[in-house]
Amino acid sequence: MIIINKRPIKSFQPDIRSDGLRPTIGDRILLRLAPGKYRLDIDPAGFPPDWQAKIQALAVDVIPGSYTPVTIPMILSYTVSGVVTDTQGNAIPGAKVEAIETTQGTRRFSVTNGAGVYYLENLPQGNYKLEINGQLASNLKLEASSEPFQEMNLQQSGN
């Protein structure tokens, strides 16, 4: 989850404190570090699937004789998965499924496997166009009340 000066956080013997609401996820980690400058790299693999860090790394200057709080800003993250089929209901392997955020134009894509399954992850809140091989297939709105994992089967329109 967090790497400090190229060393995993576990090597620093962290004291992980839970918020009491979700026992498997700590809301604070206490470390004893010598005064100095440290680089914190954020590894997204360690976060719950419905959260992601807004930053990838930061620098921290630990001051002697005090606590140095570090806040890592987090945002909700969503995953959308499903099967892409043709108009006859047959799965389409190798189709490019792309989620395009309508305001900023950011894109995430997936290529369907042999069973036609696509998997779009780490989508932030927003409005999206879902395209299959460059053709509009659906619209998607992700907001705070949306489920973090959604199944959405798509059908490619015939040409």
What pLDDT does residue 46 have?
A: 67
pLDDT digit string, tens, across residues 123-153: 989 999 999 999 999 999 999 899 999 999 9
Per residue in 50-98, pLDDT (tens digit) is 777 888 899 999 988 888 888 888 888 899 999 999 999 999 999 999 9
Q: Which amino acid is at 113?
A: N
Report the phi/psi class of residue 116: left, alpha or beta, with left for phi > 0 and alpha for psi in -120 to 50.
Answer: left
- The pLDDT-based confidence of 23 (bands split at 50, 70, 90) is very low
The predicted pLDDT at position 27 comes to: 66
Q: Is 46 helix (H, G, I), strand (E, B) or coil?
A: helix
The whole-number pLDDT of residue 103 equals: 94
35-44 confidence digits (pLDDT tens): 999 999 888 7
Whether 22 shows a pLDDT value over 60: the answer reads no
Beta-bridged to residue 58, according to DSSP, are 40
Asked whether the beta carbons of 126 and 142 are under 8 A apart, the reply is yes
157 φ, ψ (degrees, to nearest 5): -70, 145
Higher pLDDT, 80 or 10: 80
User: Token match 């199944």: residue?
Assistant: 151
What is the predicted pLDDT for the residue at 24?
47
